[in-house]
Amino acid sequence: MQQYRMALVTGATSGIGAAFAEALPRETGLLLTGRDRAALDALAMKLTGEGRTVETHAADLAVEADRVELIGRAEALGVDLLINNAGLGVFGPVARNALDREMEMVAVNVTAVVHLTRALLPGMAARTQSEGGRAGLIIVSSVAAFTPVPLLATYAATKTFELSFGEALADEMKDTSVDVLVLCPGATRTKFFDRAGMAEMPGRAELPGPVARKALRALGRERVLVSQPPARAALLLATARRRLMVAGAGRVMRRIARREGG
Ligand SMILES: NC(=O)c1ccc[n+]([C@@H]2O[C@H](COP(=O)([O-])OP(=O)(O)OC[C@H]3O[C@@H](n4cnc5c(N)ncnc54)[C@H](OP(=O)(O)O)[C@@H]3O)[C@@H](O)[C@H]2O)c1
Protein backbone atom coordinates (compact mmCIF):
# COMPACT_ATOMS: atom_id res chain seq x y z
CA MET A 1 0.00 0.00 0.00
CA GLN A 2 1.16 3.51 -0.90
CA GLN A 3 2.09 5.71 2.08
CA TYR A 4 0.12 8.94 2.41
CA ARG A 5 1.00 11.92 4.55
CA MET A 6 -2.47 13.18 5.42
CA ALA A 7 -5.89 11.65 4.77
CA LEU A 8 -9.28 13.36 4.85
CA VAL A 9 -11.94 10.79 5.73
CA THR A 10 -15.57 11.90 5.43
CA GLY A 11 -18.19 10.02 7.41
CA ALA A 12 -15.52 8.98 9.90
CA THR A 13 -17.92 8.90 12.86
CA SER A 14 -19.12 5.35 12.18
CA GLY A 15 -19.13 2.33 9.91
CA ILE A 16 -16.88 2.16 6.87
CA GLY A 17 -15.44 5.66 7.43
CA ALA A 18 -14.32 4.86 10.97
CA ALA A 19 -12.86 1.60 9.62
CA PHE A 20 -10.84 3.56 7.04
CA ALA A 21 -9.47 5.79 9.79
CA GLU A 22 -8.49 2.74 11.85
CA ALA A 23 -6.99 0.90 8.89
CA LEU A 24 -4.65 3.67 7.77
CA PRO A 25 -1.06 3.24 9.04
CA ARG A 26 0.11 5.54 11.85
CA GLU A 27 2.49 7.29 9.41
CA THR A 28 -0.61 8.82 7.81
CA GLY A 29 -2.05 11.84 9.60
CA LEU A 30 -5.83 12.06 9.76
CA LEU A 31 -8.42 14.75 9.25
CA LEU A 32 -11.66 13.15 10.40
CA THR A 33 -15.05 14.64 9.66
CA GLY A 34 -18.73 14.00 10.30
CA ARG A 35 -21.45 15.80 12.25
CA ASP A 36 -21.18 13.83 15.49
CA ARG A 37 -18.53 15.72 17.50
CA ALA A 38 -18.46 13.21 20.35
CA ALA A 39 -17.81 10.31 17.97
CA LEU A 40 -15.08 12.31 16.20
CA ASP A 41 -13.37 13.12 19.50
CA ALA A 42 -13.59 9.50 20.70
CA LEU A 43 -12.03 8.19 17.49
CA ALA A 44 -9.33 10.87 17.50
CA MET A 45 -8.47 9.98 21.10
CA LYS A 46 -8.18 6.32 20.15
CA LEU A 47 -5.97 6.94 17.10
CA THR A 48 -3.72 9.72 18.39
CA GLY A 49 -0.24 8.78 19.52
CA GLU A 50 3.43 8.55 18.66
CA GLY A 51 3.53 11.97 17.01
CA ARG A 52 0.64 11.25 14.69
CA THR A 53 -1.52 14.21 13.64
CA VAL A 54 -5.18 13.44 14.16
CA GLU A 55 -7.48 16.40 13.60
CA THR A 56 -11.25 16.54 13.68
CA HIS A 57 -13.56 18.91 11.91
CA ALA A 58 -17.31 18.69 12.50
CA ALA A 59 -19.20 19.51 9.30
CA ASP A 60 -22.58 18.89 7.75
CA LEU A 61 -21.70 17.99 4.18
CA ALA A 62 -25.18 18.96 3.02
CA VAL A 63 -24.30 22.58 3.91
CA GLU A 64 -22.12 24.47 1.42
CA ALA A 65 -20.49 26.75 4.02
CA ASP A 66 -19.44 23.70 6.07
CA ARG A 67 -17.91 22.10 2.98
CA VAL A 68 -15.96 25.27 2.16
CA GLU A 69 -14.53 25.41 5.70
CA LEU A 70 -13.59 21.74 5.60
CA ILE A 71 -11.85 22.20 2.24
CA GLY A 72 -9.83 25.10 3.68
CA ARG A 73 -8.71 22.95 6.58
CA ALA A 74 -7.81 20.06 4.27
CA GLU A 75 -5.78 22.34 2.00
CA ALA A 76 -3.94 23.82 4.98
CA LEU A 77 -3.01 20.31 6.13
CA GLY A 78 -1.84 19.27 2.65
CA VAL A 79 -4.18 16.31 2.25
CA ASP A 80 -2.87 13.73 -0.21
CA LEU A 81 -5.56 11.06 0.34
CA LEU A 82 -9.22 11.98 0.05
CA ILE A 83 -11.77 9.36 1.08
CA ASN A 84 -15.25 10.47 0.05
CA ASN A 85 -17.12 8.00 2.22
CA ALA A 86 -19.97 9.89 3.93
CA GLY A 87 -23.37 8.90 2.65
CA LEU A 88 -26.93 8.07 3.56
CA GLY A 89 -29.86 6.16 2.17
CA VAL A 90 -33.60 6.63 2.50
CA PHE A 91 -35.78 3.52 2.17
CA GLY A 92 -39.25 3.81 0.61
CA PRO A 93 -41.05 5.00 -2.51
CA VAL A 94 -39.82 8.37 -3.76
CA ALA A 95 -43.36 9.75 -3.82
CA ARG A 96 -43.69 9.09 -0.09
CA ASN A 97 -40.17 9.78 1.19
CA ALA A 98 -39.66 13.09 2.99
CA LEU A 99 -38.49 15.67 0.45
CA ASP A 100 -35.80 17.11 2.75
CA ARG A 101 -34.26 13.66 3.26
CA GLU A 102 -34.19 13.01 -0.49
CA MET A 103 -32.48 16.37 -1.02
CA GLU A 104 -30.01 15.74 1.83
CA MET A 105 -29.11 12.43 0.22
CA VAL A 106 -28.30 14.12 -3.09
CA ALA A 107 -26.35 16.87 -1.31
CA VAL A 108 -24.16 14.45 0.69
CA ASN A 109 -23.83 11.59 -1.80
CA VAL A 110 -23.43 13.72 -4.94
CA THR A 111 -22.89 17.46 -4.40
CA ALA A 112 -20.37 17.09 -1.57
CA VAL A 113 -18.41 14.45 -3.47
CA VAL A 114 -18.05 16.72 -6.51
CA HIS A 115 -17.32 19.79 -4.33
CA LEU A 116 -14.59 18.18 -2.22
CA THR A 117 -13.05 16.33 -5.14
CA ARG A 118 -12.94 19.32 -7.49
CA ALA A 119 -11.62 21.61 -4.77
CA LEU A 120 -8.90 19.30 -3.43
CA LEU A 121 -7.74 17.35 -6.48
CA PRO A 122 -5.56 20.07 -8.11
CA GLY A 123 -3.61 20.67 -4.88
CA MET A 124 -3.23 16.94 -4.27
CA ALA A 125 -1.88 16.43 -7.80
CA ALA A 126 0.44 19.47 -7.71
CA ARG A 127 1.95 18.64 -4.32
CA THR A 128 2.63 15.00 -5.09
CA GLN A 129 3.88 15.73 -8.60
CA SER A 130 6.48 18.17 -7.32
CA GLU A 131 7.54 15.83 -4.50
CA GLY A 132 7.59 12.69 -6.64
CA GLY A 133 4.94 10.87 -4.55
CA ARG A 134 1.40 9.75 -5.24
CA ALA A 135 -1.98 10.97 -4.04
CA GLY A 136 -5.14 8.89 -3.69
CA LEU A 137 -8.85 9.44 -4.10
CA ILE A 138 -11.42 6.89 -2.94
CA ILE A 139 -15.11 7.34 -3.64
CA VAL A 140 -17.39 5.02 -1.71
CA SER A 141 -20.21 4.00 -4.03
CA SER A 142 -22.11 0.71 -3.73
CA VAL A 143 -23.16 -2.43 -5.60
CA ALA A 144 -26.47 -0.55 -5.83
CA ALA A 145 -24.69 1.61 -8.45
CA PHE A 146 -25.04 -1.18 -11.02
CA THR A 147 -28.83 -1.32 -11.14
CA PRO A 148 -31.81 0.90 -10.45
CA VAL A 149 -33.26 -0.17 -7.08
CA PRO A 150 -36.98 0.37 -6.39
CA LEU A 151 -37.56 1.64 -2.81
CA LEU A 152 -33.98 2.92 -2.81
CA ALA A 153 -34.40 4.79 -6.10
CA THR A 154 -32.68 8.06 -5.21
CA TYR A 155 -29.98 6.32 -3.19
CA ALA A 156 -29.10 3.91 -5.99
CA ALA A 157 -29.06 6.78 -8.49
CA THR A 158 -26.61 8.74 -6.32
CA LYS A 159 -24.38 5.67 -6.13
CA THR A 160 -24.56 5.30 -9.94
CA PHE A 161 -23.45 8.92 -10.16
CA GLU A 162 -20.49 8.23 -7.89
CA LEU A 163 -19.46 5.17 -9.89
CA SER A 164 -19.66 6.98 -13.22
CA PHE A 165 -17.92 10.10 -11.88
CA GLY A 166 -15.12 8.05 -10.30
CA GLU A 167 -14.56 5.85 -13.36
CA ALA A 168 -14.32 8.87 -15.65
CA LEU A 169 -12.03 10.65 -13.17
CA ALA A 170 -9.76 7.62 -12.97
CA ASP A 171 -9.35 7.81 -16.75
CA GLU A 172 -8.83 11.59 -16.72
CA MET A 173 -6.16 11.25 -14.01
CA LYS A 174 -4.39 8.17 -15.40
CA ASP A 175 -1.21 10.03 -16.42
CA THR A 176 -1.00 12.06 -13.24
CA SER A 177 0.22 11.37 -9.71
CA VAL A 178 -3.33 10.70 -8.44
CA ASP A 179 -4.80 7.19 -8.16
CA VAL A 180 -8.59 6.95 -8.18
CA LEU A 181 -10.62 4.05 -6.80
CA VAL A 182 -14.38 3.60 -6.65
CA LEU A 183 -15.27 1.26 -3.81
CA CYS A 184 -18.54 -0.63 -4.25
CA PRO A 185 -19.37 -2.41 -1.02
CA GLY A 186 -22.21 -4.89 -0.79
CA ALA A 187 -24.23 -5.08 2.43
CA THR A 188 -21.89 -4.07 5.25
CA ARG A 189 -22.65 -4.23 8.97
CA THR A 190 -22.95 -0.52 9.89
CA LYS A 191 -25.62 1.92 11.06
CA PHE A 192 -26.56 2.53 7.42
CA PHE A 193 -29.67 0.33 7.26
CA ASP A 194 -31.07 1.53 10.58
CA ARG A 195 -30.58 5.11 9.54
CA ALA A 196 -32.15 4.47 6.13
CA GLY A 197 -35.23 3.04 7.80
CA MET A 198 -34.68 -0.57 6.74
CA ALA A 199 -35.57 -3.29 9.22
CA GLU A 200 -33.09 -5.80 7.77
CA MET A 201 -30.03 -6.04 5.58
CA PRO A 202 -30.30 -7.42 2.05
CA GLY A 203 -28.21 -10.60 2.16
CA ARG A 204 -25.10 -11.51 4.11
CA ALA A 205 -23.11 -8.59 5.36
CA GLU A 206 -19.38 -7.92 5.44
CA LEU A 207 -17.72 -6.15 8.35
CA PRO A 208 -16.51 -2.59 7.70
CA GLY A 209 -12.89 -3.34 8.68
CA PRO A 210 -12.17 -5.81 5.86
CA VAL A 211 -14.02 -3.58 3.37
CA ALA A 212 -11.81 -0.58 4.21
CA ARG A 213 -8.60 -2.62 4.24
CA LYS A 214 -9.36 -4.18 0.84
CA ALA A 215 -10.01 -0.73 -0.61
CA LEU A 216 -6.71 0.68 0.69
CA ARG A 217 -4.87 -2.28 -0.83
CA ALA A 218 -6.68 -1.85 -4.16
CA LEU A 219 -5.97 1.88 -4.48
CA GLY A 220 -3.43 2.33 -7.28
CA ARG A 221 -4.04 -1.21 -8.57
CA GLU A 222 -7.71 -1.19 -9.51
CA ARG A 223 -10.19 1.48 -10.47
CA VAL A 224 -13.39 -0.17 -9.27
CA LEU A 225 -13.46 -2.54 -6.33
CA VAL A 226 -16.57 -4.60 -5.64
CA SER A 227 -15.68 -5.73 -2.16
CA GLN A 228 -17.96 -8.71 -1.55
CA PRO A 229 -16.59 -11.83 -3.32
CA PRO A 230 -19.94 -13.15 -4.72
CA ALA A 231 -20.92 -9.70 -6.00
CA ARG A 232 -17.40 -9.22 -7.35
CA ALA A 233 -17.70 -12.43 -9.36
CA ALA A 234 -21.19 -11.54 -10.59
CA LEU A 235 -20.12 -8.05 -11.66
CA LEU A 236 -16.76 -9.00 -13.18
CA LEU A 237 -18.01 -8.79 -16.78
CA ALA A 238 -19.94 -5.59 -16.11
CA THR A 239 -16.92 -3.83 -14.57
CA ALA A 240 -14.57 -5.02 -17.34
CA ARG A 241 -17.03 -3.89 -20.01
CA ARG A 242 -17.48 -0.52 -18.33
CA ARG A 243 -13.70 -0.03 -18.21
CA LEU A 244 -13.47 -0.61 -21.98
CA MET A 245 -16.34 1.78 -22.59
CA VAL A 246 -14.81 4.47 -20.37
CA ALA A 247 -11.50 4.14 -22.23
CA GLY A 248 -13.32 4.41 -25.58
CA ALA A 249 -15.34 7.43 -24.48
CA GLY A 250 -12.13 9.02 -23.15
CA ARG A 251 -10.39 8.59 -26.51
CA VAL A 252 -13.29 10.22 -28.38
CA MET A 253 -13.48 13.14 -25.94
CA ARG A 254 -9.70 13.73 -25.98
CA ARG A 255 -9.76 13.81 -29.80
CA ILE A 256 -12.45 16.50 -29.67
CA ALA A 257 -10.51 18.41 -27.02
CA ARG A 258 -7.33 18.29 -29.15
CA ARG A 259 -9.22 19.60 -32.17
CA GLU A 260 -10.49 22.46 -30.04
CA GLY A 261 -6.96 23.08 -28.77
CA GLY A 262 -7.99 22.01 -25.22
N1 LIG B 1 -23.45 -0.33 4.92
C2 LIG B 1 -23.65 -0.79 3.69
O3 LIG B 1 -24.22 -1.87 3.50
C4 LIG B 1 -23.16 -0.02 2.50
C5 LIG B 1 -23.17 -0.67 1.27
C6 LIG B 1 -22.72 0.02 0.15
C7 LIG B 1 -22.26 1.31 0.27
N8 LIG B 1 -22.26 1.91 1.48
C9 LIG B 1 -21.76 3.30 1.55
O10 LIG B 1 -20.77 3.39 2.55
C11 LIG B 1 -20.67 4.74 2.98
C12 LIG B 1 -20.56 4.75 4.51
O13 LIG B 1 -21.77 4.26 5.06
P14 LIG B 1 -21.82 3.27 6.31
O15 LIG B 1 -22.34 1.99 5.84
O16 LIG B 1 -20.53 3.30 7.02
O17 LIG B 1 -23.00 3.95 7.14
P18 LIG B 1 -23.01 4.75 8.52
O19 LIG B 1 -22.45 3.93 9.62
O20 LIG B 1 -24.41 5.25 8.65
O21 LIG B 1 -22.02 5.97 8.27
C22 LIG B 1 -22.38 7.06 7.46
C23 LIG B 1 -21.41 8.20 7.70
O24 LIG B 1 -21.79 9.30 6.87
C25 LIG B 1 -21.84 10.47 7.65
N26 LIG B 1 -22.86 11.41 7.19
C27 LIG B 1 -24.16 11.15 6.89
N28 LIG B 1 -24.80 12.30 6.60
C29 LIG B 1 -23.88 13.30 6.73
C30 LIG B 1 -23.93 14.71 6.58
N31 LIG B 1 -25.07 15.37 6.26
N32 LIG B 1 -22.79 15.41 6.78
C33 LIG B 1 -21.65 14.79 7.12
N34 LIG B 1 -21.53 13.47 7.27
C35 LIG B 1 -22.64 12.73 7.09
C36 LIG B 1 -22.18 10.01 9.06
O37 LIG B 1 -21.65 10.92 10.01
P38 LIG B 1 -22.54 11.84 10.99
O39 LIG B 1 -23.83 11.14 11.25
O40 LIG B 1 -21.65 12.01 12.20
O41 LIG B 1 -22.69 13.12 10.26
C42 LIG B 1 -21.43 8.67 9.14
O43 LIG B 1 -20.12 8.88 9.60
C44 LIG B 1 -21.90 5.46 2.44
O45 LIG B 1 -21.51 6.26 1.35
C46 LIG B 1 -22.81 4.32 1.98
O47 LIG B 1 -23.62 4.71 0.89
C48 LIG B 1 -22.70 1.28 2.61
Q: What is the share, in percent, of the chain residues with pLDDT greater than 70?
A: 100
> Ligand 1, closest atom to CA 16?
16
35 C-alpha to center of ligand 1: Å? 11
Per-residue b or e along 139-162, where b marks 16 or more CB atoms closer than 10 Å to that residue's CB: bbbbbbbbeebeebbbbbbbbbbb
How long a stretch of residues is the chain? 262
pTM: 0.97
pLDDT, one tens digit per residue, over 91-149 is 999 999 999 999 999 999 999 999 999 999 999 999 999 888 999 999 999 999 999 99
* Listed residue (6, 49, 15, 53) closest to 34, CA to CA: 15
Please give the pLDDT value at position 87.
Answer: 98
Q: Which long-range contacts (CB under 8 A, 24 or more apart) does 53-58 make?
A: 53/6, 53/29, 53/77, 54/29, 54/30, 55/29, 55/30, 55/31, 56/31, 56/32, 57/31, 57/32, 57/33, 58/33, 58/34
Active site residue 155: yes
Pocket test for ligand 1, best of 35, 111, 194, 195 (most atoms within 8 A of CB): 35
pLDDT, one tens digit per residue, over 77-98 is 999 999 999 999 999 999 999 9
* Listed residue (203, 220, 219) closest to 140, CA to CA: 219
Residue boundaries of the structural domains of the chain: 6-232
Q: Cβ < 6 Å from ligand 1: which residues?
A: 11-17, 34-36, 39, 60-62, 85-88, 108, 140, 142, 185, 187-188, 190-192, 195
β-strands 178-184, 81-84: how paired?
unpaired
Integer-rounded Cα Rg, in Å, for the chain is: 18
Please give the pLDDT value at position 51.
Answer: 81
Pick the CATH number of 6-232 from 3.40.50.10330, 3.40.50.1220, 3.65.10.10, 3.40.50.720: 3.40.50.720
Phi, psi of 224 (to 5 degrees): -130, 125
